[in-house]
Amino acid sequence: MYQANDSAPMSRQVKTTCPYCGVGCGVTATLEKGTLNALEGDRQHPANYGRLCVKGSSLHETLGQRGRLLRPRVDGVEVDWDTALKAVAERLTAIRSQQGNESVAAYLSGQLLTEDYYVANKLFKGFLGTPHLDTNSRLCMASAVAGYKRAFGADAVPCCYEDLEEAELVVLVGSNLAWNHPVLYQRLKVAKTRNPLMRVVVIDPRVTDSCEIADLYLGLKPGSDACLFNGLLSWMAARGKLDEVYLTRHTQGLEETLAAAREEECSVAAVAADCDLDPERLETFYYWFTSQLHVVTLYSQGINQSSSGTDKCNAIINCHLAGGKLGLPGAGPFSITGQPNAMGGREVGGLANQLAAHMDYHTPGAIDRVTRFWATDNLTPTLPNGPGHKAVELFAAIERGEVRALWVMATNPAVSLPDAARVRAALARCPLVIVSECVTNTDLLDYADIVLPASSWSEKDGTVTNSERCISRQRGLLPPPGEARHDWWIICEVAKRLGYGEAFAYAHPAEIFDEHARLSGFENASDSTGTCKRLFDISGLVGLDRDAFDALAPIQWPVTARAPQGTARLFEDGRFATDDGLARLVPVRPRAPEQRLSAARPLRLNTGRIRDQWHTMTRTARAPRLMNHRAEPFIEVHPDDALACGVADKRLAVLTGEAGEYRARVRVTNAQRCGEVFVPMHWSDCFTRQARSGALITGHTDPLSGQPESKHGAVALAPLAIVWEATLLVTDGLTDATLWCDSDYWTRIPMRGCQRWQLAGVQAERDWLERLAAWLPESATLWCEDASDGRLRAAAVKNGRLRWWAMIGPPAELPGLAWLEQRFNETELRVQYRSRLLAGCDDGAADTGPTVCSCHQVGQRKIVSAIREGDTSVEALGARLACGTQCGSCIPELKSLIEEERAHERTEPTPESQVA
Ligand SMILES: Nc1nc2c(c(=O)[nH]1)N[C@H]1C(S)=C(S)[C@@H](COP(=O)(O)OP(=O)(O)OC[C@H]3O[C@@H](n4cnc5c(=O)[nH]c(N)nc54)[C@H](O)[C@@H]3O)O[C@H]1N2
Ligand SMILES: Nc1nc2c(c(=O)[nH]1)N[C@H]1C(S)=C(S)[C@@H](COP(=O)(O)OP(=O)(O)OC[C@H]3O[C@@H](n4cnc5c(=O)[nH]c(N)nc54)[C@H](O)[C@@H]3O)O[C@H]1N2
Ligand code: SF4
Ligand SMILES: [Mo]
Contact status, residue 469 vs residue 461, Cβ threshold 8 Å: no
What pLDDT does 909 receive?
Answer: 43
Residue 828 to residues 42, 513, 821, 822, 833, Cα–Cα distance (Å): 41, 54, 14, 12, 10
Bridge partners of residue 794, in order along the sequence? 783, 806
Nearest CA to ligand 3 atom 2: 21
Proportion of the chain in helix, strand, coil states, percent, rounded to 5: 35, 20, 45
User: Percent of the chain scored above 90 by pLDDT?
Assistant: 84
**336 alpha carbon – ligand 4 mean position (Å):** 10
- Please say if the pLDDT value at position 771 is more than 60: yes
CA angle 128, 131, 132 (to 5 degrees): 100
Q: How far apart are CA 335 and CA 316, in angstroms?
A: 10
Per residue in 520-537, pLDDT (tens digit) is 999 998 555 545 589 999
**301 alpha carbon – ligand 1 mean position (Å):** 5
Q: Which ligand is nearest to the CA of 609?
A: 1
Q: Which ligand is nearest to the CA of 338?
A: 1
Sign of the four-CA dihedral 311, 316, 322, 328: negative
Strand ranges for 199-329 from DSSP E: 199-203, 216-218, 251-252, 295-299
**784 alpha carbon – ligand 1 mean position (Å):** 45
Per residue in 841-892, pLDDT (tens digit) is 876 555 677 788 888 888 888 899 999 999 999 999 999 999 999 888 889 8
Closest approach atom of ligand 3 to CA 57? 5
Per residue in 826-845, pLDDT (tens digit) is 999 888 888 888 988 876 55
What pLDDT does 737 receive?
Answer: 78
- Banded pLDDT at 911 (limits 50, 70, 90): very low
Helix (H, G, I), strand (E, B) or coil at 648: coil
- Please say if the pLDDT value at position 906 is more than 70: no
Nearest CA to ligand 2 atom 6: 608
- Please say if the pLDDT value at position 444 is more than 50: yes
Residue 887 Cβ contacting ligand 3 at under 6 Å: no
Per residue in 394-442, pLDDT (tens digit) is 999 999 999 999 999 999 999 999 999 999 999 999 999 999 999 998 9
Q: How much is the average pLDDT of 508-522?
A: 97
Bridge partners of residue 472, in order along the sequence? 464
Residue 182 Cβ contacting ligand 3 at under 6 Å: yes
- How many other C-beta atoms can be found within 10 angstroms of the C-beta atom of residue 190? 13
Per residue in 52-95, pLDDT (tens digit) is 999 999 999 999 999 999 999 999 999 999 999 999 999 999 99
Residue 566 Cβ contacting ligand 3 at under 6 Å: no
DSSP states along 153-210: SS------HHHHHH-SEEEEES--HHHHSHHHHHHHHHHHHH-TT-EEEEE-SS--GG
Nearest CA to ligand 1 atom 1: 611
- Please say if the pLDDT value at position 3 is more than 60: no
Q: How far apart are CA 507 and CA 75, in angstroms?
A: 30
Contact status, residue 590 vs residue 261, Cβ threshold 8 Å: no
**420 alpha carbon – ligand 4 mean position (Å):** 17
Q: Which of 711, 889, 890 most suits a substitution to test ligand 1, by most atoms within 8 Å of the C-beta?
A: 711
What pLDDT does 581 receive?
Answer: 95
Residue 253 Cβ contacting ligand 2 at under 6 Å: no
Q: Which DSSP state fits 478? A: S
**415 alpha carbon – ligand 2 mean position (Å):** 8
Residue 21 Cβ contacting ligand 1 at under 6 Å: yes
Closest approach atom of ligand 1 to CA 177? 20
Residue 304 Cβ contacting ligand 2 at under 6 Å: no
Name which CATH class applies to 73-140+341-522+536-556: alpha beta
- Banded pLDDT at 736 (limits 50, 70, 90): confident
Closest approach atom of ligand 1 to CA 175? 20
Closest approach atom of ligand 2 to CA 608? 7
Residue 448 Cβ contacting ligand 2 at under 6 Å: no
Dihedral-angle region of residue 808 (phi above 0 means left; psi in -120 to 50 means alpha; beta otherwise): beta
User: Percent of the chain scored above 70 by pLDDT?
Assistant: 96
Q: Which residues contact 97 (CB under 8 A, 6 or more apart)?
A: none
Nearest CA to ligand 1 atom 10: 338
Residue 183 Cβ contacting ligand 3 at under 6 Å: yes
Closest approach atom of ligand 3 to CA 614? 7
- Banded pLDDT at 381 (limits 50, 70, 90): low
Distance of CA 91 to the CA centre of its chain: 33
Residue 761 to residues 46, 404, 636, 738, 812, Cα–Cα distance (Å): 51, 40, 22, 15, 16
Helix (H, G, I), strand (E, B) or coil at 834: helix
Q: Which of 218, 221, 607, 609 most suits a substitution to test ligand 1, by most atoms within 8 Å of the C-beta?
A: 609
Per residue in 344-365, pLDDT (tens digit) is 999 999 999 999 999 999 998 9
Q: How far apart are CA 48 and CA 127, in angstroms?
A: 40
* Every domain of the chain and the residues it spans: 11-62, 73-140+341-522+536-556, 142-335, 603-719, 724-834, 851-915
- Pick one of 3.10.50.40, 3.30.390.30, 3.40.228.10, 3.40.50.10470 as the CATH number of 142-335: 3.40.228.10
Residue 714 Cβ contacting ligand 3 at under 6 Å: no
Q: Which of 43, 183, 188, 612 most suits a substitution to test ligand 3, by most atoms within 8 Å of the C-beta?
A: 183
- CATH assignment, 11-62: 3.30.200.210
Residue 442 phi, psi (nearest 5): -140, 150
Q: Which ligand is nearest to the CA of 616?
A: 2
User: Is the pTM higher than 0.85?
Assistant: yes
462-465 β-sheet, strand order: 462-465, 470-474, 555-556
- CATH assignment, 603-719: 2.40.40.20
Size (the chain), residues: 916
Helix (H, G, I), strand (E, B) or coil at 218: strand
Q: How far apart are CA 573 and CA 583, in angstroms?
A: 12
Q: How much is the average pLDDT of 906-915?
A: 43
Per residue in 701-722, pLDDT (tens digit) is 999 999 999 999 999 999 999 9
Contact status, residue 794 vs residue 772, Cβ threshold 8 Å: yes
Q: Which ligand is nearest to the CA of 111?
A: 2
What pLDDT does 887 receive?
Answer: 85
Pairing verdict, β 745-750 and 754-761: antiparallel
- Please say if the pLDDT value at position 155 is more than 70: yes
Residue 461 Cβ contacting ligand 2 at under 6 Å: no
Residue 687 Cβ contacting ligand 1 at under 6 Å: no
Residue 109 Cβ contacting ligand 2 at under 6 Å: yes
Per residue in 318-335, pLDDT (tens digit) is 999 999 999 999 999 999
Q: What is the dihedral of CA 155, 161, 163, 164, to 10 degrees?
A: 110
Q: Which of 20, 39, 54 most suits a substitution to test ligand 3, by most atoms within 8 Å of the C-beta?
A: 20
Residue 686 Cβ contacting ligand 2 at under 6 Å: no
DSSP states along 77-112: EE--HHHHHHHHHHHHHHHHHHH-GGGEEEEE-TTS
Closest approach atom of ligand 2 to CA 697? 1
**301 alpha carbon – ligand 2 mean position (Å):** 15
Closest approach atom of ligand 1 to CA 222? 35
Average per-residue pLDDT for the chain: 93
Q: Which residues contact 62 (CB under 8 A, 6 or more apart)?
A: 619, 620, 622, 623
Nearest CA to ligand 3 atom 4: 25
What single letter denotes the amino acid at residue 403?
V
Residue 300 Cβ contacting ligand 1 at under 6 Å: yes
- How many other C-beta atoms can be found within 10 angstroms of the C-beta atom of residue 562? 12
Q: Which ligand is nearest to the CA of 693?
A: 2
What pLDDT does 843 receive?
Answer: 64
Helix (H, G, I), strand (E, B) or coil at 502: helix
Contact status, residue 679 vs residue 672, Cβ threshold 8 Å: no
Helix (H, G, I), strand (E, B) or coil at 521: helix
Q: How far apart are CA 429 and CA 448, in angstroms?
A: 11
Q: How far apart are CA 709 and CA 312, in angstroms?
A: 13
Q: Which ligand is nearest to the CA of 613?
A: 1
**305 alpha carbon – ligand 1 mean position (Å):** 9
Decide yes or no: CATH 1.10.10.1100 for domain 851-915: yes
Nearest CA to ligand 2 atom 45: 416
Per residue in 568-623, pLDDT (tens digit) is 999 999 999 999 999 999 999 999 999 999 999 999 999 999 999 999 999 999 99
Per residue in 752-762, pLDDT (tens digit) is 999 999 999 99
Helix (H, G, I), strand (E, B) or coil at 472: strand
**733 alpha carbon – ligand 2 mean position (Å):** 27
Residue 802 Cβ contacting ligand 3 at under 6 Å: no
Q: How much is the average pLDDT of 447-471?
A: 98
DSSP states along 708-777: B-TT-EEEEEEE---SEEEEEEEETTS---GGGGGSSEEEEEE-SSEEEEEEEESS--S-HHHHHHHHSS
